[in-house]
Every structure is written in structure tokens, then in C-alpha cells.
């Protein structure tokens, strides 16, 4: 069986993109945007690499009571879109951590261009060995990251560890559905060796075994289907935009997007939003 490091290497290879920041800036320019005068709306098409995009982030944040005194950790932060949204909207200080050095570098640049680098920072790191002291954060946030994590026990234990007592974990993840094995490639994996999906029941069991108390639990699979259906129709009518997720997914974008939609339609995957709490004691 491959080692943990071997899995990490394969995951990094999947997400690696040489000169990602330069590609994004060139695509912005081609779309008629000025990279030196960016606003949040300019980055929406690529900023949040998860199903339902910014809408899902806004929805999850509503449950958290965020304010400017809070320290937030975004695990699997990608390009940093959610981290920037949380900082800009609520004034909290957000640290993003991601396995991909390419994504972290691009996240730093985009954050500086939006003038949020005093509130948001990023560093490369592994979600099952978080480079932070115990009880460092009020909120841990993660969206569409667990699918690449084989050691789920360690994953949730690490988030528990860095949370302060009474702190909350907000998660939005893709889970295994009831329709059978998924179609590959998908955005998080070209083939099965780096895809590790739990069922909703298994996720709930892992969280409660870790010690978390469930505060909110929502199945948003149908919303994901609707979002993809709308996206598919828009692409059919207008074609691929010059500035979109194909910048991150490359030549396999169409196949990955089609498989993602098919997996949702055939109930091979499900979507869960949840907020859980580390008890005070």
C-alpha cells in the first residue's frame, strides 16, 4: 500500500499548476479586468473551488456568528476565496493552509491585490499534521477537502486539536452516495487512488467519535444538482467563459464537470453542510 507521503505527492501532482498566478492574471486581462484594480466580484468565477461557489460559503458562514475578534483556520483553502470572504465580510483574521504550494502562492498574490493581506495569510501544510499549536482557533473551516484525505480519524482529530474549547468546525464536503462507484475523473481526483469518500453516516460517526457535538446538519445535494444544471445550460448557450475553473482543471475540465454532474444525478455522491462544536470541557 502506498505511504502517506506517496498519497500526498500524488495529490500535489493533481493540483499542481506551473505559473498558476500568471495564468490567472492573464485570464483576468483577457476577460477585460485590470489585475491592479481587482474587486471581489472579478474573482468569483474561480475564487471558490467547490460546488455552488460563493453561495455555499455565504450559507455556511451564517451559522457561525463570526466577528472581528475571531481567529479562523481554513483547511484546504485553495486560492483563498472563502478566507478572503470571511475576513472582508466579518473582519475576522483568517489563516489558510493548503497542500498545494502553487495554490498558496496564487492565494497570497490575489489577497495582496485585494488589500486584505493584513487580515488573511496562507501557508503550505498538510491537513493531517497542521502546523499550529493546540487551541489556536475559534473556528476551523473546510470545504471540499476531505475527499482527498485517507486518514479521516487523524484529519478530524487535528481540527479538534487546533480548536479552542467551545470552538466550532464548519464543513462542506462531498460524500459517497447510494448510487454506486463514482465516475472518474472528477475535480479532486483523476482516478480512485486519491479519492476517499465517506457516507453521511460514516462522517457523523467520525465526528462524534472525535468528540464533536453537532449543531447543524444539512443535506444540500439537490441544491448542488440545480447549480450544476444551471451551469451546464449556461455553458451550452454561451460556451466556456475565458475566465473560469478550466484554468484550475486544465484539459480535462469538461470531462470532470460532466462526471461531477452525472455523479450527482445518479446519487453516486452527496453534499453535506455541517457545523459541529468542540465542547467547553
CATH number, span 4-277: 3.40.50.150
Distances (CA, A) of 131 to 128, 165, 189, 278: 9, 19, 25, 19
The total of other beta-carbon atoms located within 10 Å of residue 102's CB is: 19
Q: pLDDT 10s per residue in the chain (281 long)?
A: 333 456 788 898 888 888 899 999 999 999 899 999 999 889 988 888 899 999 999 999 998 999 998 999 999 999 999 999 999 999 999 999 999 999 999 999 999 999 999 999 999 999 999 999 999 999 999 999 999 999 999 999 999 999 999 999 999 999 999 999 999 999 999 999 999 999 999 999 999 999 999 999 999 999 999 998 888 888 888 887 778 888 888 888 889 989 999 999 999 999 999 999 999 97
Render the burial of 132-169: b for 16+ CB within 10 Å, e for the rest. Answer: beeebbbbbbbbbbbbbbbebebbbebbbbbbbeebbb
What are the residue boundaries of the structural domains of the chain, listed by start?
4-277
Amino acid at each position: 500500500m502506498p505511504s502517506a507521503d506517496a498519497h500526498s505527492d500524488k495529490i500535489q501532482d493533481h493540483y499542481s499548476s506551473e505559473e498558476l498566478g500568471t495564468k490567472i492574471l492573464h485570464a483576468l486581462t483577457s476577460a477585460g479586468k485590470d489585475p491592479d484594480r481587482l474587486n471581489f466580484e472579478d474573482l468569483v468565477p474561480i475564487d471558490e473551488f467547490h460546488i455552488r461557489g460563493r453561495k455555499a460559503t455565504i450559507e455556511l458562514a451564517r451559522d457561525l456568528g463570526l466577528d472581528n475578534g475571531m481567529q479562523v483556520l481554513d483547511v484546504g483553502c485553495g486560492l483563498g476565496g472563502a478566507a478572503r470572504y470571511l475576513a472582508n465580510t466579518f473582519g475576522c483574521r483568517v489563516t489558510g493552509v493548503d497542500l498545494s504550494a502553487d495554490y498558496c502562492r496564487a492565494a497570497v498574490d490575489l489577497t495582496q491585490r485585494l488589500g486584505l493581506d493584513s487580515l488573511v495569510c496562507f501557508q503550505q501544510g498538510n491537513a493531517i499534521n497542521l502546523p499550529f499549536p493546540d487551541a489556536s482557533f475559534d473556528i476551523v473551516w473546510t470545504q471540499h477537502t476531505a475527499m482527498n484525505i485517507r486518514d479521516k480519524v487523524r484529519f478530524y482529530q487535528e481540527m479538534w486539536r487546533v480548536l479552542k474549547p467551545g470552538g466550532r468546525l464548519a464543513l462542506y464536503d462531498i460524500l459517497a452516495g447510494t448510487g454506486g462507484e463514482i465516475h472518474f475523473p472528477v475535480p479532486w481526483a483523476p482516478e480512485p487512488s486519491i479519492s476517499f469518500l465517506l457516507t453521511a453516516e460514516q462522517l457523523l460517526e467520525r465526528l462524534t467519535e472525535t468528540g464533536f457535538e453537532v449543531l447543524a446538519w444539512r443535506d444540500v445535494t439537490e441544491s448542488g444538482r440545480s447549480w450544476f444544471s444551471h451551469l451546464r445550460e449556461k455553458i451550452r448557450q454561451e460556451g466556456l467563459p475565458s475566465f473560469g475553473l478550466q484554468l484550475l482543471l486544465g484539459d480535462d475540465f469538461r470531462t470532470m464537470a460532466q462526471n461531477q454532474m452525472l455523479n450527482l444525478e445518479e446519487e453516486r455522491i452527496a453534499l453535506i453542510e455541517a457545523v459541529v462544536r468542540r465542547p467547553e470541557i
